[in-house]
Structure 1
Amino acid sequence: MKFSSFAALSASLISSASAVTIAQINGNRYLSPYQGQRVTDVRGLVTAKGPNGFWIRSTTPDSDDRTSESIYVFGRAALPNATVGNVVSLNGRITEYRSSPAYVYLTEIDQPSNITTISTGNSVKPRVLGGLIGTVLGTSPPTQQYISLDNGDIFAVPNNVSQISVVNPVLQPRLYGMDFWESINGELVTVRSPRAVSRPNNFGDVWVVGNWITTGNNDRGSLTVRDRDANPETVIIGSPLDGTDNADVKLGDSLADITGVVTYTFGFYYILPQTGLRVTSSKSPTRPPPTKLVSIGKCSGITMGQYNVENLSPKSGALIGEIAAQIVNDLRSPDLLFIQEIQDNNGATNDAVVDANLTLSALTSAINAASSTVSYTAVDIDPVDDQDGGQPGGNIRVAYLYNPKVLRLHNPRPGSSTDATEVLPGPELSFNPGRIDPTNEAWRASRKPLVAAWETLDGKNKFFTVNVHWTSKGGGSSLQGDARPPVNGGVAQRNAQAQITGDFIAQILEEDSNAAIVSAGDYNEFTFVQPLETFASASGLVDLDVAAGILPVERYTYTFDMNTQQLDHMYVSPKVARLLRFPQFEHVHVSSWVLADEVVSDHDPSVAKLNICT
Structure 2
Amino acid sequence: MRLSLAAVYAGALSLPAAFAVSISEINGNKFLSPYIGQAVTQVTGLITAKGPDGLWLRSTTPDNDKTTSDSIYVFGRTILANRTVGDIITLDGRVTEFRSSSGFLYLTQISSSSNVVTVSTGNEVTPLVLGKGKLNPPTGQYTSLDTGNIFGVPNNVSLVSRVNPILEPEKYGLDFWESLIGELVTIEKPRAVAKPNNFRDTWVVGKWKTSGDNKRGGLTMTDRDANPEAILIGTPLDGTRNPTNTKLGDGLADITGIVYQAFGFYRILPLTALQITDSARPELPPATELRYKGDCKSVTFGVYNVENLEPNSVHLPAIAAHITNYLGSPSVIFLQEIQDNNGATNDAIVDANLTLSTLVTEISKLSSVPYSFVDIDPVDDRDGGQPGGNIRVAYLYDTSVVRLHNPNPGFSTDANEVLLGPKLKYNPGRIDPQNTAAWTASRKPLAAAFETLDGKNLFFTVNVHFGSKGGSSSLHGDARPPVNGGVNDRQRQAEVTASFIASILEQDANAKVIAAGDFNEFAFVAPLETFVAKSGLRDLDEVAGIKETERYTYLFDMNSQQLDHMYISPALTKGAEFEHVHVNTWATTDAPSDHDPSVARLNVCGK
Q: CA deviation at 1:78?
A: 1.4
Alignment partner of 2:5: what SS?
coil
CA distance in 1, matches of 2:405, 2:503: 18
User: What is the aligned counterpart of 1:400 among 391, 395, 398?
Assistant: 395
- Corresponding letter in the other structure for 2:593: S
User: Does 1:502 pair with 2:494?
Assistant: no
Alignment partner of 1:546: what SS?
helix
Q: CA deviation at 1:12?
A: 8.2
Query: What is residue 368 of structure 1 aligned with on the other side?
Result: 364
- Corresponding letter in the other structure for 2:128: R
Task: Work out whether residues 327 and 333 of structure 1, in 8 Å CA contact, stay in contact via their aligned partners in 2.
Answer: yes
Q: CA deviation at 1:4?
A: 4.0
Matches within 5 A, 1:41-60: 41-60=42-61
Q: CA deviation at 1:148?
A: 0.2
Query: What is residue 125 of structure 2 aligned with on the other side?
Result: 124
RMSD, aligned α-carbons: 1.0
Q: Give the 3 Å change call, closer, same or farther, for CA 258–418 of structure 1 in structure 2.
A: same
Query: What is residue 418 of structure 1 aligned with on the other side?
Result: 413
Cα offsets for 1:284-315 (capped at 9, x unmatched): 11111100111013211000000000000123
User: Does 1:267 pair with 2:294?
Assistant: no
Task: Work out whether residues 5 and 36 of structure 2, in 8 Å CA contact, stay in contact via their aligned partners in 1.
Answer: no
- Corresponding letter in the other structure for 2:575: L
Task: Work out whether residues 467 and 486 of structure 2, in 8 Å CA contact, stay in contact via their aligned partners in 1.
Answer: yes
Task: Work out whether residues 53 and 79 of structure 1, in 8 Å CA contact, stay in contact via their aligned partners in 2.
Answer: yes
Task: Work out whether residues 93 and 111 of structure 1, in 8 Å CA contact, stay in contact via their aligned partners in 2.
Answer: yes
CA distance in 2, matches of 1:21, 1:520: 58
Q: Which moved more, 1:334-343 or 1:279-288?
A: 279-288
- Corresponding letter in the other structure for 1:263: Y
Matches within 5 A, 1:153-172: 153-172=149-168
Q: CA deviation at 1:587?
A: 0.3
Query: What is residue 67 of structure 1 aligned with on the other side?
Result: 68
Matches within 5 A, 1:177-326: 177-247=173-243, 248-316=245-313, 318-326=314-322
Q: 5+ residue gaps in structure 2?
A: none
Query: What is residue 327 of structure 1 aligned with on the other side?
Result: 323
Q: CA deviation at 1:580?
A: 2.1
Q: Give the 3 Å change call, closer, same or farther, for CA 4–386 of structure 1 in structure 2.
A: farther
Task: Work out whether residues 431 and 447 of structure 2, in 8 Å CA contact, stay in contact via their aligned partners in 1.
Answer: yes
Cα offsets for 1:538-567 (capped at 9, x unmatched): 100000000000000000000000000000
- Corresponding letter in the other structure for 2:60: T
User: What is the aligned counterpart of 1:592 among 570, 576, 585?
Assistant: 585
- Corresponding letter in the other structure for 2:150: I
Q: CA deviation at 1:444?
A: 1.5
Query: What is residue 95 of structure 1 aligned with on the other side?
Result: 96
Q: CA deviation at 1:283?
A: 1.9
CA distance in 1, matches of 2:18, 2:475: 35
Alignment partner of 1:314: what SS?
coil
CA distance in 2, matches of 1:607, 1:190: 42
Q: CA deviation at 1:14?
A: 2.6
Query: What is residue 612 of structure 1 aligned with on the other side?
Result: 604
Q: CA deviation at 1:83?
A: 1.4
- Corresponding letter in the other structure for 1:606: S
- Corresponding letter in the other structure for 1:262: V
Task: Work out whether residues 333 and 373 of structure 1, in 8 Å CA contact, stay in contact via their aligned partners in 2.
Answer: no
CA distance in 2, matches of 1:425, 1:10: 70
CA distance in 2, matches of 1:465, 1:3: 53
CA distance in 1, matches of 2:402, 2:106: 58
CA distance in 1, matches of 2:321, 2:490: 32
CA distance in 1, matches of 2:203, 2:479: 21
Q: CA deviation at 1:501?
A: 0.4
Cα offsets for 1:329-361 (capped at 9, x unmatched): 011110100000000011111111100011111
Task: Work out whether residues 81 and 115 of structure 1, in 8 Å CA contact, stay in contact via their aligned partners in 2.
Answer: no
Query: What is residue 551 of structure 1 aligned with on the other side?
Result: 547
CA distance in 2, matches of 1:495, 1:411: 32
Alignment partner of 2:89: what SS?
strand
Query: What is residue 385 of structure 1 aligned with on the other side?
Result: 380
User: What is the aligned counterpart of 1:485 among 481, 486, 503?
Assistant: 481
Matches within 5 A, 1:521-560: 521-560=517-556
CA distance in 2, matches of 1:81, 1:386: 59
Task: Work out whether residues 173 and 183 of structure 1, in 8 Å CA contact, stay in contact via their aligned partners in 2.
Answer: yes
Query: What is residue 439 of structure 1 aligned with on the other side?
Result: 434
CA distance in 2, matches of 1:246, 1:375: 46
Alignment partner of 1:280: what SS?
strand
Q: Give the 3 Å change call, closer, same or farther, for CA 12–570 of structure 1 in structure 2.
A: closer
CA distance in 2, matches of 1:384, 1:580: 40
Task: Work out whether residues 310 and 339 of structure 2, in 8 Å CA contact, stay in contact via their aligned partners in 1.
Answer: yes
Alignment partner of 1:303: what SS?
strand
CA distance in 1, matches of 2:31, 2:224: 23
Cα offsets for 1:378-434 (capped at 9, x unmatched): 100000000000111110000000001110000110000100010001000000000
Query: What is residue 21 of structure 1 aligned with on the other side?
Result: 22
CA distance in 2, matches of 1:45, 1:440: 63
Q: CA deviation at 1:373?
A: 2.9
Share of identical aligned residues, percent? Answer: 64
CA distance in 2, matches of 1:550, 1:375: 31
CA distance in 1, matches of 2:242, 2:545: 38
Alignment partner of 1:181: what SS?
helix
Task: Work out whether residues 29 and 166 of structure 2, in 8 Å CA contact, stay in contact via their aligned partners in 1.
Answer: yes
Q: Give the 3 Å change call, closer, same or farther, for CA 258–443 of structure 1 in structure 2.
A: same
Q: Give the 3 Å change call, closer, same or farther, for CA 505–244 of structure 1 in structure 2.
A: same
Cα offsets for 1:255-300 (capped at 9, x unmatched): 1100000000010000000011111112211111100111013211
User: Does 1:454 pair with 2:446?
Assistant: no
- Corresponding letter in the other structure for 1:585: F
CA distance in 2, matches of 1:169, 1:7: 22
- Corresponding letter in the other structure for 2:440: R
User: Does 1:511 pair with 2:507?
Assistant: yes
- Corresponding letter in the other structure for 2:602: L
Matches within 5 A, 1:351-362: 351-362=347-358
Alignment partner of 1:359: what SS?
helix
Task: Work out whether residues 5 and 97 of structure 1, in 8 Å CA contact, stay in contact via their aligned partners in 2.
Answer: yes
Q: Give the 3 Å change call, closer, same or farther, for CA 18–558 of structure 1 in structure 2.
A: same
Alignment partner of 1:7: what SS?
helix
CA distance in 2, matches of 1:426, 1:558: 38
Query: What is residue 145 of structure 1 aligned with on the other side?
Result: 141
- Corresponding letter in the other structure for 2:566: M
TM-score by length of 1: 0.97
Q: CA deviation at 1:18?
A: 1.6
Task: Work out whether residues 6 and 95 of structure 2, in 8 Å CA contact, stay in contact via their aligned partners in 1.
Answer: no
Task: Work out whether residues 383 and 397 of structure 1, in 8 Å CA contact, stay in contact via their aligned partners in 2.
Answer: yes
Query: What is residue 470 of structure 2 aligned with on the other side?
Result: 474
- Corresponding letter in the other structure for 2:587: V
Q: CA deviation at 1:6?
A: 4.5
CA distance in 1, matches of 2:138, 2:21: 30
Task: Work out whether residues 138 and 173 of structure 1, in 8 Å CA contact, stay in contact via their aligned partners in 2.
Answer: no
